[in-house]
Amino acid sequence: MFHLRRFDLNLLISLDALLRERNISRAADRLGVSQPAMSAALHKLRGYFDDPLLVRMGRNLELTPRGSSLLEPVREALLRIETTLGTQPVFDPATTQREFTIIVSEEAVPDLLPALLKRLALEAPGMCCRIQLISESILTRLEYGEADLCICLDSLRLYAARAWPDSLGMIRLRPVRWICAVDARHPTVGDTLTAEQFFALPHAFGAPSAYSVSTEELVRRLFDIDLTVQLAVPSLLHLPLVLAGTSYVATMPERVLRMAAHTPPLKSFPAPFPTPVQHEALLWHKRQAPDPAHAWLRDLIVEIARELP
């Protein structure tokens, strides 16, 4: 039987770090404590659970079955405690002092992100935002509380998932239209771009460095087509900057091209292949739903998205 009074709740934080890092030194670094202190915490935890929790396999530490069974519940318990203690019963955006981590897809950078930051500067000047670019691990990062909100494409294949987790809330914001662009003086592309031309041209594409898959696999997940990408740049936002004077064709969201009004002249076309219906979506973990500051920020993002063209 579990006796809460016998358990030092401070050890939960050490337990979470040890289970996630599976390394005493990294767990100590995560919490800013010494390695001997973390080793002592592991010794106490092993005694309490009557289980080694982490065992050495070659050069690495692996979780025991008991350790594995604790990984998700311990993390969820800590996140709920953090949410409860961090929630302000009375919320006033003009006076709040809060920090939010927001993951943003490149598609939202040209217009939604600047509009959001402008509104926050006016209405919630004490609210700090940590903006991070998209990666394939966004669902896990929201689950683990490493981010508060995510503005992303609603394409599950991008995140190697078969279904949206039940623990996440989602609102679809705006449709996403993919287009193709080439240099305005392209040597072989005139006023139209056929599918035959498209597949014959050399391709440029933006692949965020946080993705572990190849650029070709990223294209396959987005469009279900096979392309050889001759030029891969670190972001979709770079594409309008690299086309001038080349024979490349680049596929990008229409909003990204609109942002590039002051770059060398380009011409654009509807994508000459079937593109899936995709939307910009706002994601968050449901544990944060009751937090009035979090709810206010979610509502603000939805409002701004609906006001934008």
- Does domain 4-86 bear CATH number 3.40.50.720? no
Task: Give per-residue pLDDT as tens, 227-268.
Answer: 999 999 999 999 999 998 999 999 999 999 888 666 678 899
Question: Do 99 and 130 form a contact (C-beta atoms < 8 A)?
Answer: yes
Residue 309, pLDDT score: 79
Which long-range contacts (C-beta less than 8 Å, at least 24 apart) are formed by 59-62? 60/22, 61/22, 61/23, 61/24, 62/22
CATH 3.40.190.290 domain extents, the chain: 91-309
182 vs 68, more confident:
182
Q: What is the mean pLDDT of the chain?
A: 88
CATH 1.10.10.10 domain extents, the chain: 4-86
> With bands split at pLDDT 50, 70 and 90, how would you rate the model's confidence at 217?
very high
Dmax (CA) for the chain in angstroms is 76
Q: What is the mean pLDDT of residues 94-109?
A: 92
Residue in the structure block whose two tokens are 């993002």: 301
> With bands split at pLDDT 50, 70 and 90, how would you rate the model's confidence at 12?
confident
DSSP state of 109: T
Q: What is the mean pLDDT of residues 267-286?
A: 94
Task: Output the six-digit token pair for 271.
Answer: 């994508």
Residue 1, pLDDT score: 46
- Residue 141, number of CB atoms within 10 A of its CB: 16
Q: What is the CATH number of domain 91-309?
A: 3.40.190.290
Backbone angles phi, psi at 170, to 5 degrees: -150, 140
Listed residue (27, 179, 145, 151) closest to 76, CA to CA: 145
- Residue 155, number of CB atoms within 10 A of its CB: 17
What is the per-residue DSSP string for 56-74?
EETTEEEE-HHHHHHHHHH
Residue 262, pLDDT score: 61
Residue 59, pLDDT score: 75
Task: Output the six-digit token pair for 263.
Answer: 């770059």
Q: What is the mean pLDDT of residues 52-67?
A: 85
Spatial separation of the C-alpha atoms in residues 252 and 152, rounded to whole Å = 15
pTM of the model: 0.76
Residues composing the chain: 309
111 vs 8, more confident:
111
Task: Give per-residue pLDDT as tens, 105-146.
Answer: 999 998 999 999 999 999 999 999 999 988 888 998 898 888
